[in-house]
Structure 1
Amino acid sequence: MSLSRYFAATAAAALIISAPAFAGSGSPKGNIVAAASASPDFKTLVTAVKAAKLTDTLAGKGPFTVFAPTNDAFAKLDSGTVENLLKPENRDQLAKILTYHVVAGEVTAAALVQQIQAGGGSAKLTTVEGSQLTAKLDGDKVILVDENNRTATVTKTDLMQSNGIIHVIDTVVLPG
């Protein structure tokens, strides 16, 4: 079995296994914001999206691909970082970080693996924020590398929503 077929099969299995834990997975029923809001795993992300005043944008037509950090991913940041970013005076910085997790268009797990293979082992993704994330494979896992060389592992894939796709990540990525 080729690596891309293996990853696609693994991604499909992860989606099936994770579907009950994530509202809105499977057939698109709602938008990205509604799905994240319905999941207890994304309370911090939803709070941040609201504080950055990005709710209407991310609930809009899209399509978007969102690499969504979990509550545990935000908890990995230095103590006080999230609280500081949520302050109104830091809204622009928070919006920059959040839009660094978003790519215009729909990029499925299988398409991302194809891009990585076509790129000789890595793929550059231009984020809505304007900077790049690098996607690589580590065995059967997709790893994102930010401009600060921080890495995040994609833990769940292809959570289809009416306005795009959510891929869950275990670490917050940060623009340079």
Structure 2
Amino acid sequence: MGSSQGWIATAALAFGYLIASINAQTNTLTDLGTLLSGEKNLTTFYGLIQKYPQILLQLPSFNGVTILAPNNDAFNKIPYTELNTAFQNNDQATITNVLEYHILQGSRTAAELTPGEPAFIPTLLANPAWTNVTGGQNVENVKQAGDVVVFDLKFNGGVVQVIDSLLIPPSNLTDTTNSFNLTAFEGALYATKKIENVTASKDITIFAPQNSAFQNLGPAISNMTIEQLSSVLDYHIIASGVSFSSNLKNGTKLTTRQGGNITVLHSGNNVYINSAQLLTSDILLSNGVLHVIGNVLNPEGPGAQPNPQIESQAPVFASATPVENLPFTSAIPCTTSCPVTDASSGTGTATSGATKPTSAGAKSSGVHSSSSKALGAAMARETGFGTAGLMVALGGAVMMI
């Protein structure tokens, strides 16, 4: 038996003693192993938990946990997802990190959630190769309004809730901006050589303008110097913590990397960042969260106010002129069908399959999440079990109960 296998066997034995001890002390609720072994639709998940017991050895460190247990049907979908190769090859690092992302810190039943209000809950996933968020990567949990029934399977260390798709941990900034078609913002980060720094930063909040916002400025932004453009980009980044939509209260002021403040304003059901409307919120990143806004923010006009009576807010840059071409995208490294110069002949040939250089903070496994919410991108998959209205996004980790 190799050292790795010996360690796993020892961990499994220790876990068995741990469960028996807890069960003897409480004598009220069953232990997790007994609970899972009795659920016929969780046999694959239970088998993985037995195979990788080091995950569960973390549980006594937390005051209860909520386990989002994928049912057997969820694992049958793996051949159609980005996790297929990892599971085919028994990639222990990937599998254990994905499973850790299904374990929420704290025992939380569906009844404790307020309908319609998102709750951002940290998980056991804290591996720096996968996440750069203090306290563990988050999932977004939203309880639907109405008579929705969710079954909580309680055990002596918390609660199990059954889901029918695997959650894929949030991806890095470059994958996310590509998925959500925020390529002008991504290209501007490359053009100013900020991409690696922003991708590697811990606990970050980004307000990323949609592509049309850059087109509406035209030369007002494309003709900026690198220093000027850097200042504008820094004005869209909050480096002092992860600010989810639940933190964006009316009148809230957030200090940006540029040094100035941005202000959150509410009008009816709309939310604005300075005068830019918040279009899509809470897109989870491997190192924080990204929100999509309708306009580019101007650090020289921090007092810009929206006009809630009109649908689209005007640009806040002087001499803004709309253009058809999308600025800055040429700065993004080629990823497919990239021209390669043949040194011997001096001619260029195209090759496919080239990949973008890995940015700091990217997952090393090569597993990338799809988008959790849609902005002309992949939609979250609506699923369900029994009478429960449970939606799990395959990637981005939004769970709606």
- Does residue 76 of structure 2 align to residue 85 of structure 1? no
Query: Cα–Cα, structure 1 residues 174 and 136, in superposed 2: closer, same or farther, change >3 Å?
Result: same
Offset at 1:32? 2.0
How far apart, in 1, do the equivalents of 2:85 and 2:44 lie?
10
- Does residue 122 of structure 2 align to residue 126 of structure 1? yes
Offset at 1:131? 1.3
TM-score by length of 1: 0.62
CA RMSD of aligned residues (A): 3.0
Counterpart in 1 of 2:151?
A: 157
Equivalent pair of 2:49/2:56 in contact (CA under 8 Å): no
How far apart, in 1, do the equivalents of 2:34 and 2:89 lie?
23
Q: Deviations over 1:117-148 (max 9, x none)?
A: 5xxx3111111112111112344488xxxxxx
Counterpart in 1 of 2:52?
A: 52
What runs of 5+ residues in structure 2 fail to find an aligned partner?
1-26, 126-135, 171-401
- Larger Cα-atom Rg: 2
Counterpart in 2 of 1:107?
A: 108
Equivalent pair of 1:31/1:164 in contact (CA under 8 Å): no
Equivalent pair of 1:67/1:169 in contact (CA under 8 Å): yes
Counterpart in 2 of 1:146?
A: none
How far apart, in 2, do the equivalents of 1:36 and 1:58 lie?
18
TM-score by length of 2: 0.29
Offset at 1:69? 0.8
Q: Aligned letter for 1:127? A: T
Counterpart in 1 of 2:331?
A: none
Q: How many residues align?
A: 132
Offset at 1:163? 0.9
Q: How do 1:132-143 and structure 2 match up within 5 A?
A: 132-140=138-146
Query: Cα–Cα, structure 1 residues 128 and 55, in superposed 2: closer, same or farther, change >3 Å?
Result: closer
- 1:78 alignment partner, SS class: helix
- 2:151 alignment partner, SS class: strand
Q: Which has the higher contact order (CA 8 A, sep 6+)?
A: 1
- Does residue 47 of structure 2 align to residue 41 of structure 1? no
Point out the structure with the larger helix share. Answer: 1
- 1:157 alignment partner, SS class: coil
Equivalent pair of 2:110/2:143 in contact (CA under 8 Å): no
How far apart, in 1, do the equivalents of 2:70 and 2:110 lie?
16
Point out the structure with the larger strand share. Answer: 1
Offset at 1:86? 6.6
Equivalent pair of 1:33/1:58 in contact (CA under 8 Å): no
How far apart, in 2, do the equivalents of 1:40 and 1:82 lie?
23
What runs of 5+ residues in structure 1 fail to find an aligned partner?
1-26, 143-154
How far apart, in 2, do the equivalents of 1:141 and 1:101 lie?
25
Query: Cα–Cα, structure 1 residues 28 and 68, in superposed 2: closer, same or farther, change >3 Å?
Result: farther
How far apart, in 1, do the equivalents of 2:147 and 2:68 lie?
14
Q: Deviations over 1:17-55 (max 9, x none)?
A: xxxxxxxxxx95322232112221111101222233336
